[in-house]
Structure 1
Amino acid sequence: MNITFLSKDAYLVKDVFVNNLYDRTFCIFDLEGTGINVETEYITQFGGIIFQNGEIIREFSSLVKSPKLIPNAIEELTGITNESLINAPTFPEVYELFLDFCREAVLVTQAGYEYDIPMIEKHCRMYNLPLFDNPVIDTKALYANAHDELFDVFSTDYLINYYQIDDTDVPRHNALGDCILISRILQKILNEYANRNIWDYDLTAGLIVKRFLIPKMYLQDDN
């Protein structure tokens, strides 16, 4: 997988190929952090689910000790407090558990090419750990690949509205809750792929995807 950030508005992803999408076991994962800027922020929660044939097989969730305090606004948004992280495991401990959880599954994320993957890469460098080599599907790119007539920020809310997905029963801005929501988005996109007779996720030639805009609240640090 090769991701090149072209500007603050878009990135190019290439050299990703997953065949036989409908026969795969997926590990959908999501992170929460002290903020959204990868260069200055840290992971506070890991969530994951094993998803196969439209069903959630098992779940994974863990807080992660952060070297940086969580700003008040982010505490309120995620419900993760600085106090709750006092006895949380470190990133290497949680990362090892996560790798054992996902094993050979295809990883799936939402907006992960621009946030979750760079954030994990940063933490792996910090702790001198190898990055996983599982293929990674970003549902933003998965959707964009089937809709080359559109060029928009395919946010979670955009995809929820497009596919008319019910999100009222899952906690948002919670890593595990967001994984469950991403599983619903993934299934809708896979259904659309099947209807279009698209069987593989093929970005070997490259795909340009519009990046999310960082909300102002994430740029404020009141600690």
Structure 2
Amino acid sequence: MDIRFLDEETYEVRGIAVDGLTETHFCVFDLEGTGINFNTEHITQIGAVTLTSELEAERSFSTLVYSPKAVPPFISAMTGINDELLRNAPSFQEAYQQFEAFSANTVLVTQAGYEYDVPLLRNHCRQYGTPMLTNPILDIKALFVCIHPEITNIISTDFLIRYYDLPHRDLQRHDASGDCMLIARIFKAIMQEYRDREIDAIDWREGITVRRFQIPGMVLT
């Protein structure tokens, strides 16, 4: 999989193909970190949930991850994760090994992961000398754009919640476990559209272009 940032507003992903979507085992995952710049920030939490054949949540996984970088106060306020919680948390290598075992033999699913979670995870793997996961990874933003090229909005989580009219207030946002459950709900709604259209395969080997999320005051490169 190759992710290429075209400019501050768009990225392109290539080299992904998944056949037999109705028979595939999926695992939704989400990362929390010390900030939004995947080049300089550190993972503080990994969450994941496997899905049944009916795309319902099945098994769950969650771990805090020790960060050598302090968690900024505004991030702590948003995620509930602070330096004291991370003091005795597993190292990245330990947490990553557990996540790798949990997600084995699945296709991974994320939200905005091509522009944050995946680059952040890749950077950590390089830094700690750990091989990157080889699972195929699908981003629900790209999945949505693939069947709705007519929609030009930035496909944020809140946009997808509104579009599919999904319940969400029972889940804790900006928590890896809560976000995984929310992503799973959105993913199920998108996959229902794929099934209704009798689409049972993804082929982005030649590339698909997606608009990046925008955070005022932050440049994501």
* TM-score in terms of structure 2 length: 0.96
Name the counterpart of 1:132: 133
Name the counterpart of 1:160: 161
SS at match of 2:59: strand
Contact 1:30 1:176 in 2 (8 A): yes
The alpha-carbon distance between structure 1 residues 17 and 155, as it changes in their structure 2 partners (threshold 3 A), is same
Asked whether 1:22 is paired with 2:28, we answer no
Asked whether 1:36 is paired with 2:30, we answer no
| C-alpha distance in structure 1 between counterparts of 2:49 and 2:217, whole Å | 30
Contact 2:45 2:62 in 1 (8 A): yes
Contact 1:24 1:52 in 2 (8 A): no
| C-alpha distance in structure 1 between counterparts of 2:144 and 2:129, whole Å | 34
SS at match of 1:100: helix
Q: What is the letter of the counterpart of residue 192 of structure 1?
A: E
| C-alpha distance in structure 2 between counterparts of 1:21 and 1:143, whole Å | 15
| C-alpha distance in structure 2 between counterparts of 1:118 and 1:7, whole Å | 16
Name the counterpart of 1:65: 66
Contact 1:35 1:218 in 2 (8 A): no
- The 5 A counterparts of 1:36-185 are 36-54=36-54, 55-185=56-186
| C-alpha distance in structure 2 between counterparts of 1:166 and 1:27, whole Å | 21
| C-alpha distance in structure 1 between counterparts of 2:152 and 2:105, whole Å | 32
| C-alpha distance in structure 1 between counterparts of 2:115 and 2:218, whole Å | 18
Contact 1:36 1:214 in 2 (8 A): no
| C-alpha distance in structure 1 between counterparts of 2:136 and 2:197, whole Å | 23
Between 1:153-162 and 1:47-56, the stretch displaced more is 47-56
SS at match of 2:152: coil
Name the counterpart of 1:13: 13
Contact 1:64 1:91 in 2 (8 A): yes
Contact 1:30 1:46 in 2 (8 A): yes
The alpha-carbon distance between structure 1 residues 217 and 83, as it changes in their structure 2 partners (threshold 3 A), is farther
Q: Deviations over 1:16-42 (max 9, x none)?
A: 111111111111000000010111211
| C-alpha distance in structure 2 between counterparts of 1:44 and 1:218, whole Å | 21
Q: Deviations over 1:39-72 (max 9, x none)?
A: 1211000000011223212000000000111111
C-alpha deviation, 1:174, in angstroms: 0.2
Q: Deviations over 1:169-214 (max 9, x none)?
A: 1100000100000000000000011111111112122111000112
C-alpha deviation, 1:152, in angstroms: 2.3
Aligned length: 219
Q: What is the letter of the counterpart of residue 37 of structure 2?
A: N
Unmatched 5+ stretches in structure 2: none
Contact 2:8 2:219 in 1 (8 A): no
| C-alpha distance in structure 1 between counterparts of 2:219 and 2:44, whole Å | 15
Q: Deviations over 1:61-119 (max 9, x none)?
A: 00000011111111010011111000001100000000000111000000000000000
Q: What is the letter of the counterpart of residue 123 of structure 1?
A: H
* TM-score in terms of structure 1 length: 0.95
Unmatched 5+ stretches in structure 1: none
Q: What is the letter of the counterpart of residue 114 of structure 1?
A: E
| C-alpha distance in structure 2 between counterparts of 1:121 and 1:183, whole Å | 23
Contact 1:73 1:217 in 2 (8 A): no
